């Protein structure tokens, strides 16, 4: 349904003159390719600054891509103008991370939910409110609260409103940009369950962006792990969690604390050295090599000179060999 | 009813049936949320000082808005005092406003009897005089002809040839209350001697032939007071003076308490009686109106009113046959019609010239002309309402008068109007230009933003005080040209300058806000659902920057007020005879001298200005707290 | 058992606002022993951070009001200390690590300036010595080239580095108690793992007692000896880490644990979630604050407020604030047989 090929997004950094080129380019997304089937949930996991949100925003057209293509049902959508994009907007929607920032504080829930319908002229003015109530009901909120304002809801309820807004246009694909990471644990579970329920009911596909592997494991069918603007590993959920290939994936999984003291205190843990390098000057060769604990397993200096390409599953010289 | 244009399949996705929705949408009305605006308003009301400041400002604004309605003296009506008068307490008899002459007592010449209505008009008569003595003589002649005191001001003639008529004497003849055209002056004496007059323009024209004769009659009667019946013939017929004699059925005088008032309308030839009681009609025997007109009143045109309501079918009760002429007393009222005054003076100067003085012309000066054109008709309505409600009563000089005898309190009230207009212009420019410009610039970003902000920078760098000085000087030199061709007078230039300056900072403030807003997720969300830039600007960005805008506005208004006062103080802003707080400050500074302390000229304007500025700042502070969503729910 | 280094009895913090009195912390009691790590778990708004601020004397007053029957540090009553005495305790004996490493360092001062300031306030050392101590401190928390870092500004460091600097700053004066307020929430998991390792190592070497405030049950499981679970300003359950995670007693703790997504177990199973959302602290429901979201709710729960009761267990002390305690006690005795003595501070696997 969705196919992303070699997507690049570079941001100019620093001052540029009238005609001069910017001093530096931030390679936020640097050659990302993946595809998404109908009804599937693809997880996009990575640490902050790895480019997962930029990928999503570029795909949906919030940023123009530097290069690469985004195809939706075979049609190229990445270079469309705003008006040309309209039919695709209806079919690809987005849920945002921060439930406190993603709803206009001055609008009632009714107008927030009716706005997409208004823009796409999907319903008559009278029906918009009724549709908004349907949506509220669908996301498990009291439809009577349609005239309330976002600040009168709790964080979890606001996130539900955000989900309802994405649903308003009855899309096929919803890009979820860390939809639960700003929520409390007990609420997080509610929203995850809601997303799963809606997927079944409306036949949705999700691109689920998260930094929390445990959440991804619960909701996703396939998982792509990103590091510094590149996908380092992509696999079905079971394969990935049972047998992670890329050293980064292993480290990432090992770093997730487990809510059980018996396991947490006995398990062996891979603690990575150092920080994520700046995407302004990504390391040569394999981008992960300065922090990699398995680097010594690769002969010579291939890790620091040759950039491993994403094969069937993982972008690591070890697994490629 | 929900009639979806979606397919049946998608309809079934939704859990709620149309009936449910109908019911729920009714119930939803009970769950109205509280918007951030109403929340802010609630918190502002709880902030006692800020709310008091808001009330104070609202009251102040309201007062200045309805200034023409208030029974305060005219802010520009000069009295003939030569010194500023201290405040009078309101229970004291107003000095500048002696009681109106009782009907029939005529005019006296004394200053104390000068009844300067203030909120009406005066006639300015210009006389070219050789010296002060001749000017005084001319003034005496004018007073004689007009039948009332006049004020004299001598100035050097600007374009007079060397040695010839170096002086111009300006003699202002105030209108009397009774001169007020179109107004029924209501007298309290209804005991058969009520006097009612109305100015009728048509009648003036028709009376033209009588003027020669009338001129001499005027001079004769000026000092005699009211004319008796005998002189009625000499009375100009356009000055309708009539009296009404009412008798009961027995022929004895009708009980005066039964009649509230009556009116004679010359134009429609109708007489109206306003009765106090319905049964008074039965006792009414006859009426007679004595008048001198080319056409007589028709008896059938008499209507009777009770409390303003027309009494139907009561007309036959009235016998309109004129009774004995002797018992009818016509009261002559000698008014001064100012166009006519000019003519009469001209004639008077021609027939008996004064040495060294030549009559130049008469000019009618409307009491409120400076303020017309700003609110225009609205002011006229308020004036009419004022006459209805307060009649001719007006307050004394509760805050004293300035050196020209103008009432300080009304000057402060009228001056606040100028301040409010200036603030309105600045706020409107800030809101319309500043907010949209800044929001658009911030939202577009990139080169457009860069260019738009450089424009603001350039405008910022212009020293506006110098621009104002330059423009004002230009207008001084090419005044007629600019006013005729561009309709640009000094005041408009002043407003344009204010408007040009005060949107700049707003544009910057708004742009900064928009820059931080535009990367928030709800703006991105709006883009994702396909909202256009203008839609995002108007429905998402502007409402969200509005709270900052409001706070910023309340804090800039004091600056605008001070700017206006400053320019007026320099003589670059509002021109006399209009009033502004800056001009009052000028008066105040001139009043500070070691010989006599005119404290009221300093204290009252500064009190007004100080409290307003304080209130605005307190309000701005309170608004900032109330509109800050971070402080929601906190003290 | 030694005397507790920190003893808090019935701590109450309320904020008087226009919306009413917000009881952010309502009757919290706990003790902290030397070298021990106490986990303070709860969702946002449960009062765990305010508890920490109250211990540091950093609750803004007004609108805040802090009251306690007892709040003593090494026998000194923190509430009766003067501002001056409190300052000497704060940062010296008790120090704090804040949640957001991006905003808790002054961007206008160098790292060195900010670190030496702590020493200059509390210890009488020369500038040279202070610099050396600071460089050692940075080295301790695993910052490479510590001397160079001293002359850098916060924006030149990454988030993980800044949090390390914050920890170094917290440990400079060798405090006896370290209050860590969500020290890893703003960090990525790989960095979080580094920081947690670091904190454990430092605790072992310095013997510092830590109060770890977090909403992440995984972090608590790895770090804490004892765990206090807070809900709506009250302690609802307190127990040693092992028994708590093995056999949560309070319905809230149970729900919380069940709703955490894990890397083990059936990934297709639906996550258990606690219905509803946390209550508004200014308008708490009558009775037990958790009652509206609780599956075990009885009539009593909506009328009476349960108190924290000691549960009869064999080896460890644990208590829970729930009317259903009595019903659950029998199984509990059997459950806790597995556990020996409560683990000592710093004795991690």
Residue B580's pLDDT band, with cuts at 50, 70 and 90, is confident
* Higher pLDDT, residue B378 or C105: C105
Q: Which of C259, C264, C348 sits opposite A186 (nearest CB)?
A: C259
Q: How many CB pairs under 8 A join A and B?
A: 139
Give C-chain residues touching A192 at CB under 8 angstroms: 261, 271, 273
Residue B338's pLDDT band, with cuts at 50, 70 and 90, is very low
ipTM for the whole complex: 0.86
Answer whether B515's CB lies under 8 Å from B442's CB.
yes
Residue C80 contacts A, CB cutoff 8 Å: no
Mean pLDDT, rounded, for B122-137? 77
| B211-222 vs B132-146: helix crossing angle, rounded to 10 | 100
* Higher pLDDT, residue A208 or B383: A208
The pLDDT assigned to A212 comes to: 85
Q: Does position B55 have pLDDT exceeding 90, yes or no?
A: yes
* Higher pLDDT, residue B2 or C292: C292
Q: Does position B120 have pLDDT exceeding 80, yes or no?
A: no
Give C-chain residues touching B635 at CB under 8 angstroms: 16-18, 62-63
Residue C251 contacts A, CB cutoff 8 Å: no
For residue A62, give the 3-state DSSP assignment: coil
Average pLDDT, chain C: 80
Q: Which of A60, A146, A201 sits opposite B13 (nearest CB)?
A: A201
Q: Is B472 left (phi over 0), alpha (psi -120 to 50) or beta?
A: alpha
Mean pLDDT, rounded, for B43-52? 87
For residue A226, give the 3-state DSSP assignment: strand
Please, what is the Cα angle at C284 between C280 and C286, to 5 degrees?
Answer: 155
Answer whether C34's CB lies under 8 Å from C2's CB.
yes
Identify the residue among C261, C266, C279, C339 best suited for mutation to test binding to A, counting A beta carbons within 10 A and taking the highest: C261
Please tell me which of A255-259, A270-274, B286-290, C280-284 the model is most confident about, judged by mean pLDDT.
A255-259
Give the distance from residue A49's alpha carbon to the nearest chain C alpha carbon, in angstroms.
10
The per-residue pLDDT for range A71-93, each reduced to its tens digit, is 888 888 888 777 788 888 888 99
Residue C17 contacts B, CB cutoff 8 Å: yes
The pLDDT assigned to A224 comes to: 92
Mean pLDDT, rounded, for C155-176? 82
- State which residue of chain C sits closest to B634, comparing Cα positions: C17
Beta-carbon separation of B635 and C282 below 8 A? no
Question: Does pTM surpass 0.80?
Answer: no
Find residues 255-294 of chain C whose CB sits inside 8 Å of chain B.
282
Closest listed residue to residue B404, CA positions, set B70, B33, B74, B9:
B74
Mean pLDDT, rounded, for C257-269? 81
List residues in chain B touching C: CB distance below 8 A. 43, 46, 633-635
Give C-chain residues touching A241 at CB under 8 angstroms: 263, 267
The pLDDT assigned to C347 comes to: 34
Mean pLDDT, rounded, for A211-233? 89
Mean pLDDT, rounded, for C85-96? 83
| Least confident span in A188-202, B312-326, C327-341 | B312-326
Domains with residue ranges and CATH for chain C: 6-224 (3.40.50.300), 230-338 (no CATH)
Please, what is the Cα angle at A278 between A277 and A279, to 5 degrees?
Answer: 115
Residue B341, φ and ψ in degrees, nearest 5: -60, -40
For residue C185, give the 3-state DSSP assignment: coil
Concatenated DSSP letters for B201-216? Answer: HHHHHHTGGGHHHHHH
Percent of chain B with pLDDT over 70: 53
CATH number of the structural domain spanning residue A70 = 3.40.50.300
> What residue has token string 């808790």?
C104
Rounded to whole angstroms, the Cα distance separating A161 from A139 reads 7
Q: Does position B56 have pLDDT exceeding 90, yes or no?
A: yes
The per-residue pLDDT for range B58-104, each reduced to its tens digit, is 998 898 888 878 877 777 665 555 567 777 776 665 444 334 443 33
Domains with residue ranges and CATH for chain B: 111-175+338-366 (3.30.70), 195-327 (no CATH), 408-631 (1.10.3720.10)
The per-residue pLDDT for range A23-72, each reduced to its tens digit, is 678 888 888 889 898 889 999 998 887 888 889 888 888 888 888 888 88
For the purposes of burial, counting CB atoms within 10 Å of the CB of A11, is it exposed (0-12), middle (13-18) or buried (19 or more)?
Answer: middle
| Least confident span in A232-246, B390-404, C16-30 | B390-404
Q: Which residue range(s) make up the domain with A33?
A: 2-320
| Least confident span in B528-542, C152-166, C218-232 | C152-166
Mean pLDDT, rounded, for B123-140? 79
Residue B331's pLDDT band, with cuts at 50, 70 and 90, is very low
For residue A135, give the 3-state DSSP assignment: helix
Average pLDDT, chain B: 66
| Least confident span in B152-161, B447-456, C117-126, C226-235 | B152-161
Rounded to whole angstroms, the Cα distance separating B602 from C82 reads 52
| Least confident span in A200-209, B111-120, B571-580 | B111-120
Residue B522 contacts A, CB cutoff 8 Å: yes
Bridge partner list, A76:
A71
Please tell me which of A16-30, A89-103, B406-420, C90-104 the model is most confident about, judged by mean pLDDT.
A89-103
Find residues 165-194 of chain A whose CB sits inside 8 Å of chain B.
165, 168-170
Q: Does position B43 have pLDDT exceeding 50, yes or no?
A: yes
Residue B532, φ and ψ in degrees, nearest 5: -80, 165
The pLDDT assigned to A47 comes to: 83
* Higher pLDDT, residue A273 or A153: A153
- State which residue of chain C sits closest to A265, comparing Cα positions: C349
> What residue has token string 């009376």?
B207
Our count of domains for chain A comes to: 1
Mean pLDDT, rounded, for B402-421? 81
Q: Which chains touch B (3 or more CB pairs under 8 A)?
A: A, C
Closest listed residue to residue B425, CA positions, set B373, B357, B478, B502:
B502
Q: Which of A189, A218, A260 sits opposite C221 (nearest CB)?
A: A260
Mean pLDDT, rounded, for B223-245? 35
The pLDDT assigned to B582 comes to: 81
Q: Does position C122 have pLDDT exceeding 50, yes or no?
A: yes
Identify the residue among C18, C21, C281 best suited for mutation to test binding to B, counting B beta carbons within 10 A and taking the highest: C18
Give the distance from residue A197's alpha carbon to the nearest chain B alpha carbon, in angstroms.
12
| Least confident span in A57-71, A149-163, B563-577 | B563-577
* Higher pLDDT, residue B280 or C46: C46
Find residues 54-113 of chain A whose CB sits inside 8 Å of chain B.
57, 60-62, 82, 85-86, 89-90, 93-94, 96-98, 101-109
Beta-carbon separation of C17 and B46 below 8 A? no
Mean pLDDT, rounded, for B163-185? 51
Give the distance from residue B49's alpha carbon to the nearest chain A alpha carbon, in angstroms.
27
Q: Does position A206 have pLDDT exceeding 90, yes or no?
A: yes
The pLDDT assigned to A20 comes to: 57
Q: Does position B110 have pLDDT exceeding 60, yes or no?
A: no
The pLDDT assigned to B182 comes to: 31
Give the distance from residue C228's alpha carbon to the nearest chain B alpha carbon, in angstroms.
29
Beta-carbon separation of B634 and C282 below 8 A? no
Residue C295 contacts B, CB cutoff 8 Å: no
Residues 6+ away with beta carbon under 8 Å from C113: none
The pLDDT assigned to A301 comes to: 79
Answer whether C179's CB lies under 8 Å from C96's CB.
yes
| B490-502 vs B504-517: helix crossing angle, rounded to 10 | 20
Length of chain C: 349
My answer on whether omega of the bond before C3 falls inside 30° of 0, hence cis, is: no
Bridge partner list, A43:
A208, A223
Q: Does position B347 have pLDDT exceeding 70, yes or no?
A: yes
The pLDDT assigned to A173 comes to: 92
| Least confident span in A101-105, B354-358, C85-89 | B354-358
Percent of chain B with pLDDT over 90: 4
Rounded to whole angstroms, the Cα distance separating A239 from A247 reads 15
The per-residue pLDDT for range B266-275, each reduced to its tens digit, is 444 455 555 5
| Least confident span in A211-225, B47-61, B77-91, C240-254 | B77-91
């Amino acid at each position: 349904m969705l196919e992303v090929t070699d997507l690049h997004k570079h941001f100019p950094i620093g001052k540029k003159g009238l005609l001069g080129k910017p001093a530096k380019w931030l390679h936020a997304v640097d050659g990302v390719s993946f595809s998404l089937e109908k009804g599937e949930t693809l997880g996009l996991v990575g640490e902050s600054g790895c480019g997962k949100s930029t990928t999503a925003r570029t795909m949906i057209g919030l940023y123009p891509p530097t290069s690469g293509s985004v195809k939706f049902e075979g049609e190229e959508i990445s270079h469309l103008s705003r008006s040309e994009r309209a039919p695709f907007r209806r079919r690809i929607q987005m849920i945002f991370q921060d439930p406190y920032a993603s709803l206009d504080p001055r609008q009632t829930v009714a107008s927030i939910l009716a706005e997409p319908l208004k823009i796409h002229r999907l319903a008559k003015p009278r029906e918009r409110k009724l549709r908004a109530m349907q949506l509220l009901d669908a996301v498990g909120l009291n439809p009577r609260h349609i005239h309330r304002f976002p600040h009168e809801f709790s964080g979890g309820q606001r996130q539900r409103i955000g989900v309802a807004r994405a649903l308003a246009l009855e899309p096929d694909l919803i890009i979820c940009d860390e939809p639960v990471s700003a929520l409390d644990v007990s609420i997080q579970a509610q929203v995850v369950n809601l997303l799963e329920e809606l997927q079944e009911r409306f036949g949705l596909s999700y691109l689920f962006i998260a930094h929390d592997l445990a959440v991804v494991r619960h909701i996703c069918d396939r998982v792509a792990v990103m590091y510094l603007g590149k996908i380092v590993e992509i696999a079905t959920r079971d394969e990935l969690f049972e047998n992670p290939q890329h050293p980064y994936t292993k480290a990432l999984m090992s770093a997730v604390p487990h809510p059980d003291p018996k396991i947490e205190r006995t398990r062996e843990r891979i603690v990575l050295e150092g920080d994520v390098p700046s995407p302004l000057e990504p390391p040569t060769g394999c981008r992960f090599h300065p922090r990699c604990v398995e680097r010594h397993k690769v002969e010579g200096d291939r890790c620091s000179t040759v950039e491993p390409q994403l094969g069937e599953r993982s972008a690591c010289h070890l697994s490629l060999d | 009813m929900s009639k979806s244009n979606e397919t049946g399949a998608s309809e079934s996705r939704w859990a709620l049936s149309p009936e449910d929705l109908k019911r729920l949408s009714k119930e939803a009305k009970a769950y109205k949320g509280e918007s951030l605006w109403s929340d802010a308003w609630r918190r502002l009301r709880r902030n006692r000082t800020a709310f008091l400041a808001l009330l104070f400002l609202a009251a102040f604004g309201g007062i200045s808005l309805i200034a023409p309605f208030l029974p305060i003296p005219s802010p520009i009506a000069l009295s003939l005092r030569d010194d500023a008068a201290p405040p009078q307490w309101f229970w004291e008899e107003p000095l500048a406003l002696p009681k109106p002459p009782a009907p029939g007592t005529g005019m006296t010449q004394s200053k104390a009897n000068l009844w300067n209505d203030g909120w009406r008009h005066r006639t300015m008569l210009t006389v070219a005089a050789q010296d002060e003595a001749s000017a005084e003589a001319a003034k005496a002649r004018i007073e004689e002809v007009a039948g009332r005191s006049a004020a004299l001001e001598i100035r050097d003639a600007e374009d007079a040839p060397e040695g010839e008529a170096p002086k111009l004497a300006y003699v202002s003849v105030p209108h009397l209350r009774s001169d007020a055209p179109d107004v029924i002056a209501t007298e309290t004496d209804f005991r058969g001697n009520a006097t009612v007059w109305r100015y009728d323009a048509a009648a003036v024209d028709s009376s033209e032939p009588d003027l020669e004769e009338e001129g001499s009659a005027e001079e004769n009667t000026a000092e005699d007071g009211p004319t008796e019946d005998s002189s009625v013939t000499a009375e100009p017929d356009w000055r309708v003076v009539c009296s009404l004699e009412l008798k009961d059925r027995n022929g004895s005088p009708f009980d005066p308490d039964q009649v509230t008032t009556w009116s004679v309308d010359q134009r429609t030839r109708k007489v109206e009686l306003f009765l106090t009681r319905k049964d008074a009609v039965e006792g009414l025997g006859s009426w007679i109106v004595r008048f001198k007109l080319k056409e007589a009143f028709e008896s059938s045109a008499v209507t009777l009113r009770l409390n303003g309501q027309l009494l139907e079918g009561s007309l036959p009760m009235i016998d309109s046959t004129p009774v004995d002429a002797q018992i009818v007393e016509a009261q002559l009222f000698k008014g001064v019609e100012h166009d006519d005054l000019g003519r009469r003076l001209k004639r008077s100067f021609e027939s008996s010239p004064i040495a060294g003085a030549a009559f130049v012309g008469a000019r009618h000066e409307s009491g409120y002309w400076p303020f017309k054109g700003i609110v225009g008709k609205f002011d006229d309505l308020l004036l009419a309402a004022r006459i209805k409600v307060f009649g001719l009563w007006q307050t004394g000089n509760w805050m004293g008068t300035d050196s020209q005898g103008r009432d300080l309190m009304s000057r402060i009230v009228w001056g606040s109007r100028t301040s409010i207009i200036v603030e309105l212009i600045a706020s409107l420019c800030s809101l319309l230009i500043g907010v949209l410009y800044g929001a658009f610039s911030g939202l577009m970003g990139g080169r457009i933003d860069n260019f738009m902000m450089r424009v603001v920078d350039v405008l910022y760098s212009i020293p506006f005080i110098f621009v104002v000085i330059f423009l004002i000087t230009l207008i001084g030199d090419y005044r007629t040209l600019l006013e005729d061709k561009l309709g640009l007078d000094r005041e408009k230039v002043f407003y344009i300058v204010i408007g040009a300056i005060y949107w700049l900072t707003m544009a910057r403030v708004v742009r900064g806000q928009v820059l931080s807003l535009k990367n928030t997720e709800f703006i991105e969300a709006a883009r994702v659902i396909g909202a256009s830039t203008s839609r995002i600007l108007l429905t998402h960005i502007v409402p969200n920057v509005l709270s900052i805008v409001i706070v910023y506005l309340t804090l800039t208004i004091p600056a605008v007020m001070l700017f206006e006062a400053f320019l007026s103080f320099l003589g670059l802003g509002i021109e006399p005879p209009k009033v502004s707080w800056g001009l009052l400050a000028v008066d105040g500074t001139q009043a500070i001298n070691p010989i006599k302390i005119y404290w009221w000229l300093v204290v009252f304007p500064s009190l007004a200005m100080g409290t307003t500025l304080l209130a605005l700042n307190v309000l701005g502070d309170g608004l900032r707290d109330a509109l800050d969503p971070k402080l929601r729910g906190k003290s | 058992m030694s005397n507790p280094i920190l003893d808090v009895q019935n701590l109450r913090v309320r904020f008087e606002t226009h919306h009413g009195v917000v009881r952010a912390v309502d009757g919290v009691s706990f003790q902290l022993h030397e070298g021990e790590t106490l986990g303070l778990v709860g969702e946002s708004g449960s009062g765990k951070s305010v508890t920490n601020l109250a211990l540091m004397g950093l609750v803004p007053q007004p609108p805040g009001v802090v009251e306690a029957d007892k709040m003593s540090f090494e026998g000194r009553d923190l509430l009766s200390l003067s501002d001056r005495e409190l300052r000497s305790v704060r940062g010296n004996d008790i120090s704090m690590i804040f949640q957001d490493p991006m905003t808790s360092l002054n961007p206008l001062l160098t790292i060195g300036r900010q670190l030496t300031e702590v020493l200059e306030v509390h210890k009488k050392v020369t500038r040279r010595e202070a610099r050396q101590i600071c460089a050692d401190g940075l080295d301790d928390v695993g910052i490479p080239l510590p001397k160079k870092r001293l002359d850098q500004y916060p924006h030149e460091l990454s988030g993980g580095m800044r949090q390390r600097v914050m920890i170094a700053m917290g440990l400079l004066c060798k405090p006896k108690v370290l209050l860590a307020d969500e020290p890893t929430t703003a960090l990525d998991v790989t960095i979080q793992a580094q920081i947690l390792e670091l904190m454990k190592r430092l605790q072992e070497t310095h013997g510092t007692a830590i109060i770890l405030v977090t909403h992440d049950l995984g972090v608590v499981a790895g770090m804490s000896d004892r765990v206090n679970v807070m809900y709506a300003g009250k302690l609802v359950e307190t127990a040693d880490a092992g028994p708590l995670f093995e056999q949560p007693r309070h319905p809230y703790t149970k729900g919380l644990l069940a709703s955490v997504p894990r890397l083990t177990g059936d990934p297709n199973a639906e996550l258990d979630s606690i219905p509803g959302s946390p209550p508004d602290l200014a308008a708490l429901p009558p009775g037990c604050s958790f009652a509206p979201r609780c599956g075990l709710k009885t009539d009593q729960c909506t009328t009476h407020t349960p108190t924290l009761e000691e549960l009869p267990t064999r080896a460890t002390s644990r208590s829970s604030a729930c009317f259903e305690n009595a019903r659950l006690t029998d199984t509990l005795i059997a459950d806790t047989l597995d556990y020996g003595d409560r683990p000592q501070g710093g004795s991690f696997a």
